[in-house]
Amino acid sequence: MADKLIIVESPAKANTIKKFLGGSTKVVASMGHIRDLPKSKLGVNTENNFEPEYINIRGKGDLIKSLKKEAKAAKKVYLATDPDREGEAIAWHLANILEMDIKEDVRVTFNEITKGAVQEAIKKPRKIDMNLTDAQQARRVLDRIVGYKISPVLWKKVRRGLSAGRVQSVAVKLIVDREEEIEKFIPEEYWNIFVNLLDEKSKKAFEARFYGKNNKKLELHSKEEVDEILAKLEKAKYIVDEIKKGQKKRTPAPPFTTSTMQQEASRKLGFTLKKTMSVAQGLYEGVKIPGEGAVGLITYMRTDSTRISEVARAAAKEQVVKTYGEEYYENRYYRKNGDAQDAHEAIRPTHIELKPDDIKESLSNDQYKLYKLIYNRFIASQMSQAVYDTLSVSIQADEYTLKANGQNLKFKGFMVLYVEGTDNEQEEENTKIPELVEKQEVKKQKIDAKQSFTEPPPRYTEASLVKALEEKGIGRPSTYSPTITTILERRYIEKNQKQLSPTDLGKIVNKLLIENFPAVINVEFTADMETEFDKIAEGKLEWKKVIQEFYGPFEEVVEKVEKELEHVKLVEEVSDVPCEKCGRMMVIKYGKYGKFLACPGYPECKNAKPFVETIDVPCPKCGAKVQIRKTKRKRNYYICENNPTSCDYISWNKPKKGEKYDESQKEEIEKEVSETKKKTTKKATKKTTKKKTTKTKK
């Protein structure tokens, strides 16, 4: 009989914790949630104060029996699920199933899985925090109500199997809105003039940019005005008018929160959000290190705080001073973000002495990359600023003003170890300007005028979408990854070379939702609900009251929309392809995998076939139609409709009229396309085999 039974969520976490505790303590895993709302119905009793109708999750019967047996045999049971709202709710569900008294001190939490943290937590158990549990229940119930009430509208008007969600639908809306901005964007012409100048004394050249006229900024928008200025600049004398010397300091980024870790792992490592969270979970729960056993390498990875403990701060100082010297250390505190719950520390290494390169052999390649990113970011956050010497020079060329700016990295500080990535991938460069004096003349060597056009806002990437969701207060650290994963899996959006864009299905669903449920599918409502959940977690609001206030008006809207849409039929897009069975013009429909062609005569005529999208530019080789297709990695490629019979045109890039065909990409595309075909064939074979097996069993 075990003196103590500790229940955690995963076997990896259980294995790591076991080694910190005595032999009479048993550690087992619940394998995540064990109870949830049923999938087959709403599962919320709207007539009885919104009481959730929880059921045991299918397939967990044997596990529940085993947990009950272990709990009965133990003198004391502790619930050590993750230290967040979700973990608190799992602990509450476990307590209910194991018939534990939730008023007793049965809950233990730790932000890091280290010997000290675990032993300290076991010494100080607490009661299950019902405020945190209720905040999770409120989110679960509200999302269930929104999803189960709105989704059937999509089933009737678009197709079965679609889903709507309070957070996921707003995320889709952001992507659709951005796409509309891009489509409506009208580029504006602008010009820059660059002048290459020579300091004859030092024989060093530098570049100055046109600024304006008589020290007033002037924007250039046409070739005519540029030509006029160029003519005068060709004849002008260039005199140094003003020199300003200064210093610029750059501060390191704070330690990671969930959001910033996801963004940086996307930028620097090319990880999806789902992959980042999966790898981080493994690092948190424990990795086997020779001579150490299973070691939890990072603190809890779902957090919106940049706070770090004084113990971690001291360890960072020791590491920085030992590795780089005293001048590289700076004791640095970071301010809490406005909406941050600040329940946990920032994401940081738990053992500073375990450097990434020292334990590389114990980690998978992905674990090593992410651990190194987390480790370096944390250490850099406690290092000195980088210092640049700056020089700004104003030059007069008759009536025109030019500017030249230079900077030189004087002290690297934190940049010796880590520099935060950016979405536009531009790093600060050293740009040197020779030692000039005011009123001296510099010689013109060359003038360049560059025509440019304003660009539309960029499409979201996973990283920039997370940033936008966080800035707008939509969702919390635990929701970013599942939200984006869901809308990708639903095929409301697609990813092409990191960029997220809406599919036609996503646009249709978004239009239907925002036209009929504007009060729910909007940024403000979604952000306001997050604030309500926070208040529930703080004990300032009662969760069922929050649901009640939402439900009445929402139910009225749903009933009204269902009546209004009852006789409304979505206008189907008619293709130019005749049905070979009955002659009707086929229509474009949306299925699980995107567009397909179907006969409008259904159910009399059930003909359907794949939809092939073409572009308005003919094949550069034979003049036939060019089709757009996708590889298994969701990359678009362009192929002649006659490929492979009489034309071999295939390209990553959309062809342009009169453009010569570049065959250099052909082999790479054909290889990726071949992999896609193999995968499709394998899936089809598996499906056929499964069908045959089922028939045989029958």
Query: Which residues participate in catalysis according to the annotation?
Result: 300
How far are the Cα atoms of 117, 224, 453, 583, 689 from residue 681, in angstroms, in the given order?
51, 60, 46, 31, 12
Rounded to the nearest 5 degrees, what angle is found at the Cα of 269, between the Cα atoms of 265 and 270? 90
Instruction: Show the 3-state SS of 187-253.
Output: CCEEEEEEEEEEECCCCEEEEEEEEEECCEECCECCHHHHHHHHHHHHHCCEEEEEEEEEEEEECCC
Provide the angle, in degrees to the nearest 10, between the axes of the packed helices 480-489 and 273-285. 140
How far is the C-alpha of 572 from the C-alpha of 161, rounded, in Å?
Answer: 19
Which two tokens mark 583? 């002659």
CA distance 671 to 668: 5
Q: Which residue, chain included where needed, has tokens 């005005």? A: 225
**Which candidate, 458, 486, 487, 483, places its Cα nearest to that of 472?**
483
Please list, in sequence order, all residues whose beta carbon lies within 8 angstroms of the beta carbon of residue 485, skipping any fewer than 6 positions away: 272, 273, 274
Q: Which residue reads 């504007």 in tokens?
A: 518
Which residues is 692 bridged to in the sheet? none
Contact 254, 346 (CB under 8 A): yes
- Rg of the chain's alpha carbons, rounded to an integer? 31
Contact 366, 356 (CB under 8 A): no
Q: Coil, strand, or helix at residue 530?
A: helix
CA 339 and chain centroid, separation = 19
C-alpha pair distances (Å), 223 with each of 123, 189, 227, 452, 455: 76, 9, 6, 11, 19
Residue type, 283: L
* In contact, 512 and 152? CB cutoff 8 Å: no
Give the count of beta carbons closer than 10 Å to the beta carbon of residue 62. 8
CA gap 220, 229 in Å, rounded: 10
Question: Using CA atoms, how far apart are residues 311 and 318, in angstroms rounded to an integer?
Answer: 11
CA dist., res. 522 & res. 514, Å (int): 8
Q: Do 376 and 264 form a contact (C-beta atoms < 8 A)?
A: no
In terms of C-beta distances under 8 Å and separation of at least 24 residues, what long-range contacts does 329-333 make, across chains too? 329/382, 329/383, 329/384, 330/382, 330/383, 330/384, 330/385, 331/382, 332/252, 332/381, 332/382
Query: Which one, of 29, 26, 111, 17, lies nearest residue 77 by Cα?
Result: 26
First to last CA, the chain: 47
**Cα dihedral across residues 565, 567, 573, 579: positive or negative:** positive
Q: Please state, in angstroms and as integers, the Cα–Cα distance from residue 61 to each residue in 65, 152, 245, 262, 483, following that order.
A: 6, 31, 73, 35, 29
> For tokens 């990708």, what's the residue?
488
How far is residue 147's CA from residue 149's CA, in Å, rounded to a whole number? 6
